[in-house]
Amino acid sequence: MSDARPVAFVTGGAGGLGSAICAKLASDGMRVAIGYHHSAGAAKHLVSSLAGAGHSVHPAPVTDTPALTSLAAAIAHDYGRCDALVNCAGITRFVPHPDLNALDDQLIDAILATNVRGAFAAVRAFRSLLETSPLPGGGVVVNVSSIAAEIAMGSNIMYCASKAALDNMTKSLARALAPRIRVVSVSPGLVDTAFVKSLDPTWREEQALRAPLRRLATPQEVAAAVAAVITTLTCTTGSVVKVDGGRTLG
């Protein structure tokens, strides 16, 4: 008997947010294919810890379109379906916003290639699989964004711009791919990952107090939002779902 459990492919699946998303989707009964670039060890460790069975790991450099095309074919061969694509791969580097010279062309190109072009390329590669998903509401693309897209505050100016582009692309793709594929951004504020916990506690507390809820989001809360978009918000597309404690309320 064929396995009827939905399949989700998560780019950047071994990172702080990606691993929480993979764990949540697996616990909700999905088969999870974890995409990684430089984190093979972390991805293999993660897949062994996921609830359920049928999970897998795959090299997924999102800036390599031929590799993504081959990857989609491999997912089709191994699973026969892909119901959800979670674009969680992303890069950045802390550069003070006034220091324009430190934001060099190489970093700009890398951020835009990964955070924007990479997400688009993944959608393009997986489109035909997502179009045939039997999920209620159809196949789903979840772009993991950031409220930096709206407040223009973040690790550097180009990172903010890349997330703004991602949210805009979410809306364009939602129109272009409807009605068979839904496209939604999940937009966290600062998330209390292991990396953020390692930063200056005073700065971290200051950031938390800027949100009306007076705390940072957890990776698990972001993962829950991603899962809700896939399984529950079946009439939602082209939207930006914020997980920021109200930080964007001003």
CATH number at residue 16: 3.40.50.720
For residues 34 and 135, give the distance between their C-alpha atoms in angstroms, rounded to a whole number: 20
Rounded CA-CA distance 44/58 in Å is: 9
User: How many domains are there within the chain?
Assistant: 1
Place 250 in a pLDDT band, splitting at 50, 70 and 90.
confident
Map residue 39 onto helix, strand or coil.
coil
Collapsing DSSP to helix, strand or coil, 84 comes out as strand
Residue 217 maps to a domain: no
Residue 227 counted as domain residue: yes
Is 216 inside any structural domain?
Answer: no
Report if residue 132 sits inside a domain. Answer: yes
What's the CA gap between 133 and 92, in Å, rounded? 33
Asked whether residue 57 is assigned to any structural domain, the reply reads: yes
Q: How confident is the model at residue 199 (pLDDT cuts 50, 70, 90)?
A: confident
Q: Which range of residues forms the domain containing residue 17? A: 7-190+223-241
In tens, the pLDDT along 63-119 reads: 999 999 999 999 999 999 999 999 999 999 999 999 999 999 999 999 999 999 999
Q: Is residue 205 part of a domain?
A: no
**What pLDDT is recorded for position 195?**
85
In a domain, 28, yes or no: yes
Classify residue 211: in a domain, yes or no.
no
Could you list the active site residues? 159
Whether pLDDT at 143 is above 70? yes
Helix (H, G, I), strand (E, B) or coil at 124: helix
